[in-house]
Structure 1
């Protein structure tokens, strides 16, 4: 991949921290989240939470996010120490849970993380749910992410830790909830049955092989790529100690379903343990003959073990990944691999892989190969290696792109460039971000961006089919929008880059691949507005909600007032990103000073807490600035 995407095999991770995941479903049809865990610390106890070591946990009324109580965590002597809660009997394998915790330091500031520890056969593994998030003593910060347990375990606890300091901190209002899974659509064509010019695959973690995710994967895709489970840190974390606990279940699933496997990746400058680059003296390697010999020996040993472990079960390998840096005069990335060995690590990797896997397709894989300078540097390298007899069979184009870049012409030039070399070409990690820059962030995917995305998929797959004689595989970097590395890269925000949405339903992007005549734009509201209402958490007598107002017209709003009526006796008790007034069943929300301007095609979102008795039906009618809106 282009950048680190540490998605553990047993986890399904969404942007962390992030706002609640949204999907384009109607307010009536959208499943209501079911809360399985709540810790509010209002009863003066620790409510089952315990320290991970000898730290002190105690109920506190010093500060609180909601109510008057919170949980104090003090006496820490290491950053990994913090509060943890047993969820072994709470979480069900194959269910995607949204976990939320509010954190506040007692003094100073740090970064906090929300994670899960699991153990199988006494072996511990750690899955990050919400990554480093700035927390201070000046207010509460929310850590939120999604987690899916995909394997049987004997130990399962959620926990909070910090990145740098060991000071005291507080947590409060911890919740875990899930949205009841929607059945996958069985009455739509399978991608693999429609696109027959080359196999279409998806990158997966363990979460994609169970329940509805597994059904979706089996229906639509002809190949799979373990996104992280075959990388060096997952397979050889310490020298000559090999483990395949992450990858073996994925390969077994593929074999059971008759699905091909792409191996990713044998050599990369990222996700390689630090020990690999330490010399015999324990110091960082330099360009000495001794260090070069040691490093190439480690490389050969790694490939012989990992590739040999799977043999013919994996027919294609990304042997080396991301070796090009077009800003260098020679076009080569200055990784430790290169600074110690020059091109010999690439030569060695391909030579050993061919010896171990004589029938496999061996690829060199990189990103931004549609950029002329990057493309030309990769072409020069592959030309040189093949002239030397290095068995480079295939060039992999990652194709991490967005709704406005690159052009079809640039992509065609990329593919055409390598035709004279006689190598196979594969699209290895494709996704289409809805964002065109790091400064954008949408609470939910705008209809116009989803439409643009559908046309990009349409045009790119049409181009790939033009090159069907050259392209031997197309892989999407993920199964559905609920698990994408783009939620945290290049910034944290919810992205929607794949063919299926967060509840595994086909998007316009899917139709762009399968049948472009069925691409449809979300109908605009009759008055230029649309509203999405979602319950994002629920507990006895209370709930958390989110409402988004979208300007579907072309004239910008300078301010907005949203109204609706509750029909189940609900009451809004707190609202953020707006001001609220409620009279009986009627609710009125107006913008704040900073989110009143909404351009055509833009949107604004408010979140709220509410109480309810007896039922919690979604409102069915909304107005913005006095005019009725479409309900999405």
Structure 2
């Protein structure tokens, strides 16, 4: 996994989002949402909220997001102190809750975060629901995220914190709710049954082994990678104090369900506690003989304990992670491992791992290995270490990519480069972001981006399957879009990089892997992508598909597809309908809209005005609702009634 700033590291049991993305064609419709928590502070009380420490919380009428009341938090002496609410009796294990909090500073500016503290026994853990979000004293800012409790706990509190300052802050209009789970689709092919050239796996946290997630995982995948549970900070937080509380449940689930396990990772420059690089004198280590000997001894002790704890249950280890920095003259990352111990930390790590786990395949893992400079530096390093007798069995290519980069040719060159070394290659952390730059942000994935993503998955898997003797496994960095690190890295925004959506339903990306002929429709083989109007009475020259693809307390997302069923191409289009439940469109993409009361008109954008005969155009939007959200009964295109599919 690529390096994340410490404060921006979102534990993968919690993922930030602004909308619940819905099912693709052929999946079940969303049931109505259920609200489990509301705090509007209109009754003059704190409504159960308290400070995490000695700070003061009190009802206030100075400012409010809505109504007249809010909650003022003052007297904070640390950035992590803030308003906190007990949700132990509210949140149930295995349910994905959407949590919304409006935040405003009394003055100044900072980043705010939404987090959860949970405890089992005396052990506290912290899950980030929403990462750093800019907030000021001038306006209310919404923090909205998803959280799934994956373990039994004795203490569970939701809280708001800031990144650096300790000034007063306000919160208002807090809600939490969930949409009842959709059943996992059992009538679609399993990925592992279609891709037989190598095992296909997924990175997991505790959230992926409960309820429907566990069912989805075992249906489609051959192997799992604990995403964070085997890293140094999770397994040896204090020197020679080993704990496997995070990893053991994942390992037990894998063993019970016949899933192979990739161990990730024994050595990394991130998520390594500070004590590892602190010398016997209490000072940061430097390149002295004494510090080097101590560091390598700690490294050996760590690997001997962690690798031995799981023995033959782990058949592949990412021994070292992300050691290449192509900006350096020699291509080697100037991590604390390297500055203190040079290449000896790599030699030690592989030697000890081989001694402790002689059965396991040992990997060196890195990202952007499709970039020629980085690829060549990694090749030279592996070649050198192999020549010295260092027991490296394979190279791991992370393959964190997006819908526009890299090309198939660049990826093929990556694989071909390492073939002469005679070692295994694995794709270890694959995901395909819907974004092509840090400046982009969508409230929910646009249809055209999901289709582009599907074709990237199609092309990449087709490439990997042409190298069954070289590529020995492919692992996706996550199970479904409800739990992805890309929601907070490189910036906070909702991404959708995996094969299944936030409701665990198959996306076009899934069909890109399993059956590319079904990318556009998600229907049974042979089904028509264009409607057959001969069996639909009352049709004009258009057909409309309107789907509510996500729903949460007070809001929803919809996708609309308009198809030209006439014989003449359209140069532009305008689609109209009436809402009957008081719905209001808040944000629309893929078109331009107007709304007057219940009447809505959507016209084409500059890039999708032309619709060929038999062709279609799509758009989507976020809307609000109050008492209900019925689907419009009729649509017209340019005044002509359309078939409603």
TM-score (norm 2): 0.88
Contact 1:296/1:345 (8 A) holds in 2: yes
- Structural mapping, 1:400-549, within 5 Å: 400-520=400-520, 533=548, 536-538=551-553, 543-546=554-557
Encode CA deviations 1:185-238: one digit per residue, 9 max, x unaligned: 111121112222211100001101011000000111110000111111111112
Structure 1: distance between partners of 2:482 and 2:23: 13
1:160 offset after TM fit, Å?
0.7
1:101 offset after TM fit, Å?
0.2
1:604 offset after TM fit, Å?
7.6
Encode CA deviations 1:58-114: one digit per residue, 9 max, x unaligned: 111111111111111112122121111111111111000011100001111111111
Structure 2: distance between partners of 1:630 and 1:345: 67
1:507 offset after TM fit, Å?
1.8
2:14 aligned counterpart, secondary structure: coil
Contact 1:457/1:513 (8 A) holds in 2: yes
Worse-superposed segment, 466-475 or 245-254? 466-475
Partner of 1:249: 249
Relative to structure 1, is the Cα distance of residues 626 and 207 closer, same or farther in structure 2, using a 3 angstrom cutoff?
Answer: farther
Contact 2:100/2:144 (8 A) holds in 1: yes
Relative to structure 1, is the Cα distance of residues 527 and 562 closer, same or farther in structure 2, using a 3 angstrom cutoff?
Answer: closer
Q: Check if 1:20 corresponds to 2:19.
A: yes
1:104 aligned counterpart, secondary structure: strand
Structure 2: distance between partners of 1:274 and 1:480: 33
Partner of 2:614: none
Encode CA deviations 1:340-394: one digit per residue, 9 max, x unaligned: 1111110010011111111110000011111211111111101110110100011
Contact 1:192/1:222 (8 A) holds in 2: yes
Equivalenced residues, count: 612
Structure 1: distance between partners of 2:55 and 2:156: 20
Structure 2: distance between partners of 1:254 and 1:505: 22
Relative to structure 1, is the Cα distance of residues 631 and 393 closer, same or farther in structure 2, using a 3 angstrom cutoff?
Answer: farther
Contact 1:6/1:228 (8 A) holds in 2: no
Contact 1:46/1:57 (8 A) holds in 2: yes
Partner of 1:94: 94
Relative to structure 1, is the Cα distance of residues 270 and 530 closer, same or farther in structure 2, using a 3 angstrom cutoff?
Answer: farther
CA RMSD, 1 decimal: 3.0
Worse-superposed segment, 243-252 or 615-624? 615-624
Contact 1:52/1:81 (8 A) holds in 2: yes
Encode CA deviations 1:491-530: one digit per residue, 9 max, x unaligned: 2222222111121111222222222233325868977997
1:245 aligned counterpart, secondary structure: coil
- Return 5+ residue gaps in structure 2 as ranges: 523-528, 532-540, 610-616
Q: Please point out which of 8, 27, 47 is paired with 2:11.
A: 8
Partner of 1:565: 578
Contact 2:19/2:550 (8 A) holds in 1: no
Structure 1: distance between partners of 2:501 and 2:295: 43
Partner of 1:600: 608
Worse-superposed segment, 499-508 or 256-265? 499-508
Partner of 1:611: 626
- Structural mapping, 1:43-122, within 5 Å: 43-122=43-122
1:409 offset after TM fit, Å?
1.9
Contact 1:7/1:205 (8 A) holds in 2: no
Encode CA deviations 1:303-352: one digit per residue, 9 max, x unaligned: 11111111111110000001011222211111111111111110010011
1:419 aligned counterpart, secondary structure: helix
Contact 1:556/1:600 (8 A) holds in 2: no
Relative to structure 1, is the Cα distance of residues 580 and 416 closer, same or farther in structure 2, using a 3 angstrom cutoff?
Answer: closer
Relative to structure 1, is the Cα distance of residues 102 and 623 closer, same or farther in structure 2, using a 3 angstrom cutoff?
Answer: farther
Contact 1:561/1:588 (8 A) holds in 2: no
Structure 2: distance between partners of 1:364 and 1:451: 33
Encode CA deviations 1:121-158: one digit per residue, 9 max, x unaligned: 12111111011111111110001111101111111110
Encode CA deviations 1:29-62: one digit per residue, 9 max, x unaligned: 2333211111111111111111111211111111
2:320 aligned counterpart, secondary structure: strand
Worse-superposed segment, 349-358 or 521-530? 521-530
Contact 1:22/1:443 (8 A) holds in 2: no
Structure 1: distance between partners of 2:499 and 2:61: 47
Structure 1: distance between partners of 2:583 and 2:450: 34
- Return 5+ residue gaps in structure 1 as ranges: none
Structure 2: distance between partners of 1:398 and 1:377: 16
Structure 1: distance between partners of 2:484 and 2:501: 11
1:620 offset after TM fit, Å?
4.3
1:422 offset after TM fit, Å?
1.3
Structure 1: distance between partners of 2:503 and 2:633: 21
Contact 1:287/1:340 (8 A) holds in 2: yes
Partner of 2:392: 392
TM-score (norm 1): 0.90
Partner of 2:221: 221
Contact 1:531/1:629 (8 A) holds in 2: no
Structure 2: distance between partners of 1:336 and 1:566: 60
Partner of 1:343: 343
Relative to structure 1, is the Cα distance of residues 168 and 192 closer, same or farther in structure 2, using a 3 angstrom cutoff?
Answer: same
1:611 aligned counterpart, secondary structure: coil
Q: Check if 1:158 corresponds to 2:158.
A: yes
Relative to structure 1, is the Cα distance of residues 278 and 28 closer, same or farther in structure 2, using a 3 angstrom cutoff?
Answer: closer
Structure 1: distance between partners of 2:57 and 2:514: 55
1:403 offset after TM fit, Å?
2.0
Partner of 2:35: 35
- Structural mapping, 1:233-382, within 5 Å: 233-382=233-382
